[in-house]
Amino acid sequence: MADYDYDLFVIGAGSGGVRASRVAAAHGAKVAIAEEYRVGGTCVIRGCVPKKLLVYGAHFAEDLKDARRFGWNVPDCDFDWAVLRDNVLAEVDRLNGAYTHTLDNHGVEIVHERATVSGPHEVTLASGKTITAGKILIAVGARPAVPNCPGSEHGITSNEVFHLDALPKRVLIAGAGYIANEFAGIFNEFGSKVTLINRSDVILRGYDEQIRDRLLQISMTKGIDFRFHAEFRGIEKQADGSLKVSMTNHEPLEVDLVLFATGRVPNTEGLGLAEAGVELDAKGAIVVGADNRSSVDSIYAVGDVTNRVQLTPVAIREGQAFADTVFGNKPTIVDYSCIPAAVFSHPPIAGVGLTEGQAKQKYGSVRVYTSDFRAMKNVLANRNERALYKMVCEADSGKVLGLHMIGPDAPEILQAAAIAVKAGLTKADFDQTVALHPSMAEELVLMK
């Protein structure tokens, strides 16, 4: 057997890379991991974790108003963006330290510089040093896409949004996926005037149509503007520092901030992958099999860089499966069916399994059950905002094919319900479960 510096060398210390590294090390492998920025990756450093903290902060805008209906003498409150921003960034620092500590505790060597692939068993560091490894795992994730239009350098992405010096008064968000809708809700609650533009007239493609339509209605009621069939023509910086955005089918718009949320691109450029024989698809993602192996036997990939399912828990599962299969003598394949997903919009949405449209396409005949209601808290708060729960079932067996919801705490409620969908339970199983009253979650077992 060849003598290598390491049994495993991982490039990228995000969620997938960290999990793969520490599990492989626990199986007895000698492991090193290279990270050119900060340990933790997109989710921890510039993604779901700091974003969710901003979502929590934004919810207080409505909670403080609603508190008055519940007897609390709440004065008019000012919001200090810098306080929230700095507290969030401090939490990111803490998590960065925690992830680093975890790797250290598992005996994984951390290399704090960029690494590129220079052969089937070799990586080259930015310092020029070469390192050999029995297996190489690519877990470098993805980055926000930036539209190719004049003046695009004046916009920012979700990477930079956590570091803004001040809150913009007027924000234009390009895109209509989960990142766009989440930040639309955040900025709107913080008092910014938000306009969301999209090339098509569909938001949150892939989510159930009724649920996303409800979010669109509620978002517009909250004051968020939507411009559909709008593509960038360009961004011009004005003398006063504002940005003039030109687009198709609509009049130009002057704003103070442009946020691009138009998808994510695998971080494969300049990694030496093609030169090493690793197959990439048309979008630059690494093509892998069910065992996470690339076209080169010794090189594997997990997470967003493979562009399969761009979700942190999926990357973690892939990293675990890779380590268990290659170093733990426990062959494991990730099951991509019934993956729950959420959008932390205002209000949030969550879903698992097939949408109504997908179910009809696959099964032909389906039965759909819904509950359309106002949460008790919203009733007393005089907030005319309705939740919608939806269950899609196979017509004959009653098996639950999909469960979708929008309303307060929808993601928290769906996580437990997703277990039932994954397990193949039926509408009758839900019906036979006694409701937990009074709660929003009880509507899961009361749908008609």
- Judge whether 437 counts as a catalytic residue: yes
| Torsion sign over Cα 159, 162, 164, 166 | positive
- Is 52 a known ligand-binding residue? yes
Distance CA 281, CA 264 (A): 15
Q: Where are the alpha helices (DSSP H) in 68-80?
A: none
* CA 169, chain centre distance (Å): 26
- Is 181 a known ligand-binding residue? yes
- Is 165 a known ligand-binding residue? no
Q: Which of 27, 101, 163, 437 is catalytic?
A: 437
Distance CA 145, CA 162 (A): 17
- Is 104 a known ligand-binding residue? no
- Is 177 a known ligand-binding residue? yes
Q: Describe the strand order of the beta sheet including 366-374 as a list of residue ranges.
A: 341-343, 349-353, 400-406, 386-394, 366-374
- Is 176 a known ligand-binding residue? yes
CB atoms within 10 A of CB 431: 12
- Is 231 a known ligand-binding residue? no
- Is 263 a known ligand-binding residue? yes
DSSP run (H or E) holding 9: strand 6-11
Q: For residue 206, which phi and psi values (nearest 5 degrees)?
A: 105, -20
- Is 291 a known ligand-binding residue? no
Distance CA 429, CA 448 (A): 14
Distance CA 211, CA 215 (A): 6
User: Are 272 and 254 spatial neighbours (Cβ–Cβ below 8 Å)?
Assistant: no
- Is 364 a known ligand-binding residue? no
What are the binding residues for FAD?
52, 304
What are the binding residues for NAD(+)?
175-182, 263
Indicate which residues carry an active-site annotation.
Answer: 437
